[in-house]
Amino acid sequence: MTALGGFAASFLFLAFTRFGVAFGEAGATPAGHAIIARKINPEHRGLAIALFALGLPLGTMVGFAGGGAVSDALGWRAALIGAGVAGAAIGLLALAIISPTPPIRSRATRSEPFFRASYRLLSSANFRWLFIGAIIGSFAAAPFYAFAAPFLIRTHGYSASEAGLAFGLLQGLMGILGTLIGGRWFDRAVRSGSGKLLGPPAILFLIASTTTAAALFASIGWLSILLLVPSMLSFAFLLPWGFGAAHLVAGKGKEAMASSLVMIGSGLFGPAIGPLIVGLISDAATKAQMPNGLAIGMLTVPVASAVTGIILLIANGQIAASLQRS
């Protein structure tokens, strides 16, 4: 579907291929988390989830840097086709060398229908706050990834390859550091027994909110990029904390369902609506002849980050109190 996007002759066809990419990716993370939960004890699960999640920053780093260079040299169609061919090759290689995973046999999880199991989890205040945090967090992450490079190009005069290289390399580095440090830190929080499982990512989101707002109006390109770093770090840092906490709240045997609901929350609303809101605000600001219209639209990112930080603090208190009672 990625490669087909390179042959798009209309916006509708391009949008269809992007839906196809999302559809193809959707099942991998919940299934992967279920296997991790079966093999790894909760005290070490944060690092395992972090290692699993390294595909995101590594892929982002290669995609932004390599995609920007290919786009400048050969055009955006070649970049999409090249990425699709590379992905297909890796998929075929994995299919050839990785043996099938034995099925997870659990009467409890198989006997309960999907909607009933979802309702049961969302009925828990602890999980519900996590779910809300995932939704609001995606309103920060999706526009950030969609518009950060165009912002650097339009506002500071970078070329596509320069913006892709600078943003992609930093995003990859912060993603690697964030997921690994976040995973180790989460494991330490679980072993401490305090039940405070979301405080550090909440604080980082509040910091990122301030620095990202400053980045949007910085007059120097390199300073703007530097001020975007805390947001790059916060999105990656949250991954092991969010999924790990969701697994503990959901309980044994329900880890895949917990991961899938968190991904639905983070993937359904924010990526669909967040960039659209930024685009509408940016167009309206530009039409009103306001300077730096895209930066005004991207103010939704720090606002959503601040709200996410507050929600994570609420969830942190709820989960800690619940675990101490149990």
CA within 13 Å, CB half, 311: 22
Kindly state the tokens that stand for 129: 């706050």
Look up residue 180 and give its two tokens.
Answer: 């690994």
Q: What is the mean pLDDT of the chain?
A: 86
| Distances 290 to 154, 169, 294 between C-alpha atoms, Å | 14, 31, 10
- Per-residue pLDDT of 45-80, as tens digits, reads 888 888 888 887 787 777 777 887 888 888 889 999
Rounded to a whole number of angstroms, the CA Rg of the chain reads: 20
Average pLDDT, stretch 19-31?
Answer: 82
270-309 pLDDT, tens per residue?
Answer: 888 888 999 899 999 988 888 889 999 999 999 999 999 9
pLDDT of residue 110: 54
Instruction: For residue 282, give Cα distances in angstroms to 190, 221, 294.
Output: 43, 20, 5
pLDDT band with cut points at 50, 70 and 90 for residue 321: confident
What tokens appear for 272 in the block?
A: 């669909």
The pLDDT value given to residue 297:
93
State yes or no: pLDDT of 324 exceeds 70: no
Fold classification of 2-325 is: Growth Hormone; Chain: A; (1.20.1250)
Average pLDDT over residues 241-256: 85
User: Residue 223 CB: number of other CB atoms within 10 A?
Assistant: 13
pLDDT at 307: 97
263, with CB counted inside 10 A (0-12, 13-18, 19+), is: buried
Q: What is the pLDDT of residue 223?
A: 93
- By the 8 A CB rule, do 227 and 212 touch? yes
